[in-house]
Amino acid sequence: MLDFMDNVQNAFYEASHWNVDNSYGALNATARALLDFQTPKGLRLQISSLAAPNFATSYTLGSVGVVDGSVSYLYSSLPLRGRFKSSDLDLHNVIKGYRHLQKLRRPDEDWWWEVWHSGKRIDRRDTLLYGRIFLPQSTLEALYLRRLSPTKQLKISAVSSSSLNNGGTILALLQNDVGKYSTEYMYSTDSVLMGVRGLYNFGPDPRVAPTIPVTAQEIAEPVHGRFSAGAELYYGLLNKSGGISTGLRFTTLPNHTGFPYTMTLTLNPLMGNLSSTYAVKAGQNLALCSRIDFNFYSYESELQLGCELWRRRRNTDIEWAVKKLRPDWKQPNVAPDEDVSGILKARVDQNWKIGVLWEGRIKELLFTLGASLDLKKREQIIRAVGIELQYSS
Amino acid sequence: MAFNFNWSPLIADTSRAREMLTTALNKSPKPPIIVDDIIVTELNLGSTPPELEILEIGDLAEDRFRGIFKMSYTGNAFLTLKTKVQANPLNTYLSTKPDFASPQPLAAASGLVIPLQITLSDIRLSGFVILVFSKQKGITLVFRNDPLESLKVSSTFDSIPFVRDYLQREIEGQLRVLFMEDLPAIIHRLSLRLWSPEYQELETEQRLDGMKDAAAPIDPLSTPPQDAVDAFGNPLDESQISSLSRDPTSEVHASFSQKNILHLTALSESQRTLSLFTPSIREAVFRAWAGQPDRNESGSNTPALTQSSLSRIQSTFGSMKSASSSVASGSTGNDTQSSRPTLSSNYSAPAGLNLGANRLRTHPMRKRKKRVVNLRRDRDGGESSGVSTEANTPAPSTNVSETASVIHEEREKEEELVTPPKSPVKQGLRFEGKHGSLDVGEPGRVSKKSSAEGLLPAPLLADPSRLSKSKQKAKVSTPLIIEEPEKEKKMASGRPPLSHNHLRRTRQTTSPLLRSLSLDKVSTLSSGSRLSVPPHSYTENTSSSGGILEQAWMLKMAQEIARKVQEEKEKEAYRDRESSPSPNPQGLFHPQPQSTSKRGGIWAQDEDDAPPAYVA
């Protein structure tokens, strides 16, 4: 389940029309959400609040052997008007599952953002500031996010901790997203790592789409999928080592009539790592995902399977009545997550390492129950168990 | 005599050694690049044995051995390790970084785990090895210095220079740790398994328990001996061990006046010569100052009177060692006679303190056979210092290491190194110059002789110049070799005349006093104990770790001693030059090649009266 602060950040992206999915880093977000989810350890409590539309606070208290916690504050120059109360937020916003990509938006024009007042431009760049201090480790996380322009965003994140070399590290990330393609440039002070990432979407360019006349063929065969390709390149100046990878993705768009599915293929040519994922949303409540890793240098392979299941409450009292409803009768419009009793996520790999997550909402609390198991180790099957509780207002 | 090392059986079965190496290598936290256990797959000791040069043999018997070797190895041994490494530098780099500020690459950080095979060959070793062997306690082998000179690391990644260099560097570092810390533990364990059936059983149990600390590191310098036994093989209890391990160096700093120290030294030396209460141990050889604890032993068990007199002697040693940390006691100005009555009261207090090893003397009359053979050449002296010795250690051995460490610390000064003689000195005592040795006769004999001829009155004691001179000589000599008189006489011919005449005289002078104090009791005691404790009991006493422990203490103390003694000696020399114009020809020190005397010494001694066990 997403952290409250992450949720707020996502809301900021949304409010500032930034497409998080259109980045090479998010190429296999679906597979990661379904296969690489974190299982909680120990007990963790989080109380958060969006006190004002621009300001959020969050406190966490954790207990894994020792009691630790964190305090975080967030400021956004852009008023955030989403639903963040734990009692009524949309569970789809906080539960990462199958990412259903939307049609590419045409980026805002620069002049859309301009605000003129009596002959002067008075608009400001949207900015988000975030800080979090972990106690008692005295680790500080800080984030500075600025929308430089409708197609540009600067993200500077820093961690200060005595356990790190030089006491901390800073990562600067400059992102460009014009819809058709996106590029990212990054610089990390740690070992002077520099990186470039790019993603290119095949198909119609959202920027020019309106000007091209629609042909008859396009109407007959509407585009119901998107093919994307990307690459990334890193080089650390100090340790003179780098990394490279390329990736492909095909995903169905909402106008696809069958099951939505996403396929990705990533390749690390340096390390010979080939990874392919296939995720399918088999129904409204079920998503399945598989991933096969193969290394053609070491011939090592790995298989992971995962699923996400939304379990909905059935009201048995009125079920018989619902059955008797005529199909053409409109069902009363209820909140989409009203009847969700919980979401089950599970993954298993070829070594019989299992991760299980049960998330949901009880009254006004969001809860996450998780366990990771290792069936190969007979003496210690349960590796970790944890529960997280979140409350936000 | 020569040692015959049989190298081939060592080559035969290395499975156990492999196992232990594996454990040792996986003990320390591994760098993130290593993602699997390090497994030793092949271990071949090669056909060329290491070359061992004997520098010093501290103890030698059928079932125990202690010595210092200079080892050099240029053989064809090789070792093959197998592990898995993460070949993606980005992966290892990111694994240690916090997620929040991580670039979070999509697939560029995907891991490539490569099985890695490393072969270490062309190992060049050169170092000083301290080897202590006892049948009961196994083998303790300690490297005095970092023995690794060079080695060749060949691996799967030889074609990539960066990786190759990295591996070479890392492995050399790991191996240094292995040699200095893990290997001694492994060898000790192996030897225990070989010789001690109890340990075998014990270990089997342990292994059943999970073999958790299979290669628990033995840090001889910080931990007390884990299985200490005393001279009789009885396990020492905690308090005794702690007293052994925690004797602070400061204890030897007794407050003495310079002058009194000189007096007392002379006194004690003479006493040693007479060795009234030195247990006469057959086949025992004492290092020049190694005899002190022995007497302490006996002294601690003698009734009060004797004890005090003994402790006085002890205290002189202590003061000698700390050489004039002179907060003068009241008797500073006195001559020996006058101070005599007060001596015991003045100096008995520090007596118990002057040697940490003394505390161990709970069992009276621990007679031990000590043969200290110093084959050390001058330049080697430093390295051979740590004659690490036996565990709960009999004082003689501690003294041995003490001497050695003095030399080590004061290497550059070795020429003029002065160490106070502390062993029971007897008729045949010989003090030598710079590299000379202090030879001490067999105590038993000494007592006989002394009773016969040592009855001279003590007027000479009043002669401070003599005393100081002789004492100085005694100090100047590096008392490393203790030989039997016969031997010594042989050697003496090739030597410049030395100070033993003076020493003898001074010894004789003090004898009445000592005798009056303790002769009867001590002698009876010593003889009784001699009967009761057969020499064999000592063999069980040689344990390994405690000696190292003491060695650390001794090392510290020896530094102190050497420094002070040096100062004192310089002072003395200055005074001599000024005040005593009559140079005693016998007192001159002639540096002499030490090795000849030493070698001759020990072997001759063996021929003379060594028990069958010693005849190598």
Which chain B residues are within 8 Å of A158, Cβ to Cβ?
Answer: 101
Cβ–Cβ under 8 Å, residues B506 and B266: yes
Q: Is residue B149 part of a domain?
A: yes
Q: Tell me which amino acid residue B316 is.
A: T
- Tens of pLDDT along chain A (393 residues) come to 888 999 999 999 988 889 889 999 999 899 999 999 989 989 999 999 988 889 999 999 998 778 899 999 999 998 988 888 888 888 888 888 898 888 888 888 888 888 888 888 888 888 999 999 998 888 999 999 999 988 999 999 999 998 888 888 999 999 999 988 999 999 999 889 999 999 999 988 877 755 556 666 666 667 788 999 999 999 988 888 888 999 999 999 888 888 899 999 999 998 889 999 999 999 888 999 999 999 988 888 999 999 999 988 776 676 677 677 766 666 655 555 667 888 999 999 999 999 999 999 888 899 999 999 998 888 888 888 999 999 998
Which chain A residues are within 8 Å of B113, Cβ to Cβ?
Answer: 298, 300
B90 in A contact zone (CB under 8 Å): yes
Among B198, B213, B240, the domain-final residue is B198
Q: Give the residue from chain A lying closest to B110, CA to CA.
A: A273
Write out residues 299-358 of A within 8 Å (CB-CB) of B.
300
Assess whether B169 and B296 both reside in one domain: no
The rounded distance, in Å, linking the Cα atoms of B430 and B434 is 13
B32 in A contact zone (CB under 8 Å): no
| DSSP assignment letter at B97 | S
* Cross-chain residue pair A273–B113, CB shorter than 8 Å: no
pLDDT at B429: 45
For chain B, percent of residues with pLDDT exceeding 70: 35
Assess whether B487 and B360 both reside in one domain: yes
List A174's β-bridge partners, or say none: A154, A185
Among B153, B168, B198, the domain-final residue is B198
Q: Is residue B435 part of a domain?
A: yes
B97 in A contact zone (CB under 8 Å): yes
List B82's β-bridge partners, or say none: B39, B117
Q: How close, in Å, is residue B97 to chain A by CA atoms?
A: 8
Please list the alpha-helical segments (H only) found in B60-196. 89-95, 161-177, 183-195
Quick one: average pLDDT of B540-556? 61
* SS3 assignment, position B581: coil
Q: How many domains does chain B have?
A: 2
Q: Is residue B207 part of a domain?
A: no
Q: Is residue B571 part of a domain?
A: yes
Q: Tell me which amino acid residue B186 is.
A: I
pLDDT at B395: 43
In order, the DSSP letters of B13-36 are: --HHHHHHHHHHHTTSPPPTTB-S
The rounded distance, in Å, linking the Cα atoms of B295 and B291 is 7
* Cross-chain residue pair B90–A169, CB shorter than 8 Å: no
Cβ–Cβ under 8 Å, residues A12 and A145: yes
Compute the radius of gyration of chain A from its Cα atoms. Answer: 23
Q: Give the residue from chain B lying closest to A23, CA to CA.
A: B106
Q: Is B109 exposed, middle or buried (0-12, 13-18, 19+ CB in 10 A)?
A: buried
Quick one: average pLDDT of B62-89? 83
In order, the DSSP letters of B242-261 are: HHHHT--GGGG-----HHHH
The rounded distance, in Å, linking the Cα atoms of B467 and B551 is 31
B100 in A contact zone (CB under 8 Å): yes
Q: Is residue B239 part of a domain?
A: no
Cβ–Cβ under 8 Å, residues A224 and A214: no
Q: Tell me which amino acid residue B587 is.
A: G
Among B166, B198, B230, the domain-final residue is B198
Which chain B residues are within 8 Å of A236, Cβ to Cβ?
Answer: 89-90, 93
* Cross-chain residue pair B106–A244, CB shorter than 8 Å: no
Assess whether B352 and B262 both reside in one domain: yes
pLDDT at B285: 61
The rounded distance, in Å, linking the Cα atoms of A290 and A292 is 7
Q: Is residue B169 part of a domain?
A: yes
Question: Does residue B18 have a pLDDT over 80?
Answer: yes
* Cross-chain residue pair B101–A169, CB shorter than 8 Å: yes
Question: Does residue B282 have a pLDDT over 80?
Answer: no
Assess whether B290 and B390 both reside in one domain: yes
A268 in B contact zone (CB under 8 Å): yes
Q: Is residue B66 part of a domain?
A: yes
A93 in B contact zone (CB under 8 Å): no
Assess whether B177 and B267 both reside in one domain: no
Q: Is residue B493 part of a domain?
A: yes
Compute the radius of gyration of chain B from its Cα atoms. Answer: 27
List A392's β-bridge partners, or say none: A48
Q: How close, in Å, is residue A184 to chain B by CA atoms?
A: 11
Half-sphere exposure of A283 (CA within 13 A, CB side): 8
The enclosing domain of B48 has a CATH number of 3.15.10
Cβ–Cβ under 8 Å, residues A377 and A347: no
pLDDT at A261: 93
Helix or strand (DSSP H, E) at A362? strand A353-362
Which two three-digit tokens encode residue A256?
A: 């696809």
Which two three-digit tokens encode residue B441?
A: 């006769």
Domains and CATH numbers, chain A: 4-392 (2.40.160.10)
CB atoms under 10 Å from CB of B530, counted, come to 17
> Sorting pLDDT into bands at 50, 70 and 90, what band is B482?
very low
Which chain A residues are within 8 Å of B112, Cβ to Cβ?
Answer: 268, 271-273, 295, 297-298
Contacts of B238 (CB under 8 A, 6+ apart): none
Assess whether B307 and B185 both reside in one domain: no
* Cross-chain residue pair A188–B103, CB shorter than 8 Å: yes
Write out residues 131-190 of B within 8 Å (CB-CB) of A.
162
Cβ–Cβ under 8 Å, residues A295 and B112: yes
Write out residues 125-164 of A within 8 Å (CB-CB) of B.
139, 141, 143, 157-159, 161, 164
Helix or strand (DSSP H, E) at B528? helix B520-532
Q: Which domain holds residue B354?
A: 254-452+460-614
Closest CA to B484 of B566, B599, B586, B602: B602
Q: Can you give A59-122 as a three-state secondary structure string?
A: EEEEEECEEEEEEEEEEECCCCCCCCCCCCCCHHHHCCCCCCCCCCCCCCCHHHHCCEECCEEC
Which chain A residues are within 8 Å of B105, Cβ to Cβ?
Answer: 25, 195, 232, 234, 243, 245
Assess whether B397 and B522 both reside in one domain: yes
